[in-house]
Amino acid sequence: MEGKEEDVRLGANKFNERQPLGTAAQSQDDKDYKEPPPAPLFEPGELTSWSFYRAGIAEFMATFLFLYITVLTVMGVVKDPTKCTTVGIQGIAWAFGGMIFALVYCTAGISGGHINPAVTFGLFLARKLSLTRAVFYMLMQCLGAICGAGVVKGFYGKTRYEVLNGGANMVNPGYTKGDGLGAEIVGTFVLVYTVFSATDAKRSARDSHVPILAPLPIGFAVFLVHLATIPITGTGINPARSLGAAIIFNRDKAWDDHWIFWVGPFIGAALAALYHQVVIRAIPFKKMAAMEMQTVLQFAPSSSSTLSAKVHPLVIFNICDCYVRRPDQAERVIGTLLGSVLPDGTVDIRNSYAVPHNESSEQVALDIDYHHNLLLSHQKVNPKEVIVGWYSTGLGVTGGSALIHDFYSREVPNPIHLTVDTGFSNGEGTIKAYVSVNLSLGDRPLAAQFQEVPLDLRMVEAERIGFDVLKTTMVDKIPSDLEGMEISMQRLLALIDDVYKYVDDVVEGHTAPDNNIGRFISDTVASLPKLSPPVFDKLVNGNVQDHLLLLYLSSITRTQLSLAEKLNTAAQIL
């Protein structure tokens, strides 16, 4: 089976998870990446989710470790009078950039690895996360920074910590507050713009020529910004880092310029979000173009409005039999429909056979060799039967229906898709027929939609009795001929009563006359044989007597067989 399955692997990636499956299957687009939907402003469900609080804890721990390593590195450089014996400015920059690289790598899969209120603010403006999550992240980042700086103060002691300025950010002598604000704006812009670019959906595109590890460019951007701006402000670009060091140091000179390390990063983050979303990605313009394109979306012309299908009851019995005999792990049965197209365009479905398949949440694979071999066998017996469509058990179309339908569209133009509810919900076997209609944008096909078409299921009385038995979940026995005749007569009398009532209502003016119904009643009455009541009674009674005689003979036969069996048993004992 594995070797015979066609390279038609029907993947689940062809469908959007939020799309109603089976109603409009998405086709391949030009791009091979998907834009995530914008996050809601407020999402109450987050507050009851453990993953929400786990992400906050991850941000707390990451910011705690970030402040611990970086402030400790800064203090180690500042405490020596000569920088030759320390790692120097380059070492500080490497400490900040390296920690961001490591911590983003560790926490990206949990919280996104922000570790910076400015990054969180920029992503919030771009609708990458909700306001609830953004505020919670910023709070946890600030708490983590305070704890990290506090641990460093515990190592150095209060006196030495205050002498070394506690690693707090301040505008250095020789620079104005405007210089410091500008440095923070530009530095944060570089960082947040790098974050947007490194986490862009295009970076995970199938044909992207730049395979990228997001934490690496983010950490490198932090390294470069620190090399440039440590002489000006000590490099903030992270309000939580500046707040944690300022609170633990808690001297006026740390608070005098502290506003710069909030206003500057937030302005830089906002500018980076605006630049990336509007200029680089042009998302607002894409939305406007999508709204304009909605006016030209159209369904391709189809004959579904006039197309109809007629299915023979034996096809339904065959499908139900295949469903009962299906493998234990299979949830449904898929198969091919055979028949012909009548002169009036009606699809006449007269035969079917099941096609083995493997189905999972990710793919559906059909055994195409088996399908073609069985088709050849059927056509040897009846060459006039051709493929007219395919069927599946279950209620309505499902997620993989569009892909399977696409395969049968290569076998026959405009195939019929028949669905049979083998569960017989509410005691009724829902049987529907569909055709696929393409949705296009100009000359480019976008999607396919299944439209239901009229389905004619006509049965003779014996077939109807069998179908009624099939719909019953559990039966004690199959009805006998007499019981079947009784059921048929009761149904016939009910239909005659309905016809009488309809004719009386039309004559009395209660119901508008319908010429089609009138002709059908007239043809039905004309088709009945002209028999006198005595002749009809004799015919029915003779038929009943024949059935009774058969029942009597079968009863005698069963009795004789039972006696013979008991006599044989007694003889063996003796």
Q: 13-63, pLDDT tens digit by residue?
A: 333 333 222 333 333 344 555 667 788 888 777 888 888 999 999 999 999
Residue 548: alpha-carbon gap to chain centroid: 60
- Give the pLDDT confidence score for residue 425 in this predicted structure: 60
> Over 90: is that where the pLDDT of 443 sits?
no
Out of 65-79, 98-112, 414-428, 489-503, which region has the weakest mean confidence (pLDDT)? 414-428
CB neighbour burial string for 256-281, b if at least 16 within 10 angstroms, e if fewer: ebbebbbebbbbbbbbbbeebbeeeb
User: What are the strands, taking DSSP E only, across 430-526?
Assistant: 431-441, 444-453, 455-456
Confidence of residue 441 (pLDDT cuts 50, 70, 90): low
pLDDT greater than 80 at residue 85: no
Measured between its terminal Cα atoms, the distance across the chain in Å is 58
Would you say residue 473 has pLDDT above 60?
Answer: no
Question: What is the pLDDT, as a whole number, of residue 24?
Answer: 32
Question: 82: which 2 tokens?
Answer: 């000569």
**Contact status, residue 126 vs residue 277, Cβ threshold 8 Å:** yes
Q: Which of 25-29, 69-73, 417-421, 435-439 has the highest mean pLDDT?
A: 69-73
Q: What's 10's DSSP letter?
A: E
Considering 99-103, 405-409, 534-538, the range whose residues carry the highest mean pLDDT is 99-103
- Residues composing the chain: 574
- Among the listed ranges 88-97, 338-347, 392-401, which one has the minimum average pLDDT value? 392-401
Residue 281 has pLDDT above 90, yes or no: no
Most confident by average pLDDT, 56-60, 469-473, 496-500: 56-60
- 201-256 pLDDT, tens digit each: 766 554 444 445 788 999 999 999 999 999 999 899 999 999 999 999 988 888 98
Is residue 374 pLDDT above 80, yes or no?
Answer: yes
Q: What's the Cα-to-Cα distance from 6 to each of 180, 259, 365, 405, 412, rounded to whole Å? A: 65, 65, 7, 15, 18
Q: Per-residue confidence at 285, pLDDT binned at 50, 70, 90?
A: low
Does residue 426 register a pLDDT over 70? no
Tell me which long-range contacts 255-259 makes (C-beta under 8 A, separation of at least 24). Answer: 256/170, 257/169, 257/170, 257/171, 257/177, 257/180, 257/233, 258/169
Q: What is the pLDDT of residue 6?
A: 39
Residue percentage of the chain with pLDDT more than 70: 78
Residue 1 pLDDT level (bands cut at 50, 70, 90) = very low
Tokens matching residue 536: 């009809």
pLDDT computed for residue 78 by the predictor: 82
CB 113 within 8 A of CB 103: yes
Mean pLDDT, residues 321-331 taken together: 81
Higher-confidence residue of 303 and 332: namely 332
pLDDT digits (tens, 9 = 90+) for 501-546: 888 888 888 888 888 888 888 888 777 777 777 887 787 778 778 8
CB 226 within 8 A of CB 97: yes
Q: How far apart are CA 502 and CA 507, in angstroms?
A: 9
DSSP letter assigned to residue 73: H
Name which residue leads in pLDDT, 552 or 64. Answer: 64
- Burial classification of residue 553, based on how many CB atoms lie within 10 Å of its CB (0-12 exposed, 13-18 middle, 19 or more buried): exposed
Alpha-carbon distance values, 313 to 73, 388, 393, 465, 573 (Å): 82, 16, 15, 11, 52
For the chain, the helix, strand and coil percentages under 3-state DSSP, each to the nearest 5:
60, 10, 30
pLDDT of residue 25: 33
Query: For 411-438, what is the mean pLDDT?
Result: 78
Buried b or exposed e, range 171-193, using 16+ CB within 10 angstroms: beeeeeeebbbbbbbbbbbbbbb
> Which is more confidently placed, 397 or 391?
391
Indicate if the pLDDT at residue 288 is higher than 80. Answer: no
Amino acid at residue number 239? P
Secondary structure class of 170 (helix, strand, coil):
coil
pLDDT at 499: 86
State pLDDT tens for residues 162-193. 878 888 999 999 999 999 999 999 999 999 99
Kindly tell me if the per-residue pLDDT of 498 is higher than 70.
Answer: yes
Average pLDDT (457-475) is 63
Q: What is the CA radius of gyration of the chain?
A: 39
In terms of average pLDDT, the best of 82-86, 549-553, 568-572 is: 549-553
Helix (H) and strand (E) counts in the chain: 18, 13
pLDDT higher than threshold 50 for residue 294: no
| Amino acid 136: pLDDT | 94
- Range with lowest mean pLDDT among 19-28, 326-335, 380-389: 19-28
Please give the pLDDT value at position 442: 56
User: Half-sphere exposure (CA, 13 Å, Cβ side) for 324?
Assistant: 8
Is 181 within 8 Å of 58 (Cβ atoms)?
A: no
pTM over 0.75: no
For residues 499 and 507, what is the distance between their CA atoms, to the nearest angstrom?
A: 12
pLDDT reported for residue 511? 86
**261 within 8 A of 184, measured Cβ to Cβ:** yes
What pLDDT does residue 29 have?
Answer: 42
DSSP lists the bridge partners of residue 354 as 335
Nearest alpha carbon to residue 400 among 8, 97, 2: 8
pLDDT for res 445: 59
- For residue 299, the model assigns a pLDDT of 42
